[in-house]
Amino acid sequence: MSSSPSSPPEPISSLEPTSDRRWGVILLWALPVLVVVLVFVYGFLTRQPVDDTAPRVGQALADFTLPDLHGQSVQLSALRGKVVFINVWATWCPPCVEEMPTIQRLYERLHGQGLEVLAISLDALGAQVVEPFMRNHRLTFPVLLDPKSLIQRLYRTTGVPESFIVDKRGILADKVIGPRDWAHPQIIAQFERLLAMPATN
């Protein structure tokens, strides 16, 4: 008795996908999504924290005490009731040197009306280089010495020059990064408006 012929095998394309194959397809689609999620999680965990200590316009400026060229301590809070112009600079900084004559003109113009200038030098050698610099450039406004860069850490400055304008209440009115012509009429007018304001709210 002859056996009946066996039926041909079903083509592969007609076979139902196995469980392993289904998981492979799922992983193929899920892997890129997983990578994106991991990237976001890594970015969130390693993000730099917001620096809440950096000076902000409209808020009180942190106090400091630094010596002047004569070794006398000068404290910012002791100048409350006056408009204070703080300029962070160094003798080795060309833009700083360029704006110094305009700071001198600003000082001569408004010091008699109550403007105080504090030019904070970051020179590591302190008075050894700052004193002859001031003398050679005929600058007479007050200079404070900060060879350990305290002000850089306190005010989170990113370079020199950087300037801070403080009103009579000790509130930061403006922050300027980079050099300016501080004797420009518009800037003079800005200082005059601050000088005309009362020392209290």
> What are the per-10-residue average pLDDT scores of the chain (201 residues)?
50 50 67 63 49 83 97 98 98 98 98 98 98 98 98 96 98 98 98 94 63
Q: What is the CA radius of gyration of the chain?
A: 33
Identify the CA nearest to 76 among candidates 55, 61, 88.
61
Question: What pLDDT does 116 receive?
Answer: 98
**What are 9-38's pLDDT values in tens digits?**
444 444 444 566 666 666 676 666 666 566
Tokens of 23: 């998981």
Question: What pLDDT does 50 receive?
Answer: 42
The Cα–Cα gap between 128 and 190 comes to 34
Q: Any bridge partners for residue 143, and if so which?
A: 119
Give the pTM: 0.75
Collapsed DSSP state (helix, strand, coil) of residue 65: strand
CA angle 53, 148, 61 (to 5 degrees): 30
The Cα–Cα gap between 10 and 140 comes to 100
Q: What is the DSSP letter of 79?
A: G
Q: Are 158 and 178 in contact (CB under 8 A)?
A: no
Question: What pLDDT does 193 receive?
Answer: 98
The Cα–Cα gap between 91 and 99 comes to 12
Tokens of 185: 């009429």
Question: What pLDDT does 177 receive?
Answer: 97
The Cα–Cα gap between 131 and 103 comes to 17
- State the maximum Cα–Cα separation within the chain, in Å, rounded to a whole number: 128
Q: Are 182 and 71 in contact (CB under 8 A)?
A: no
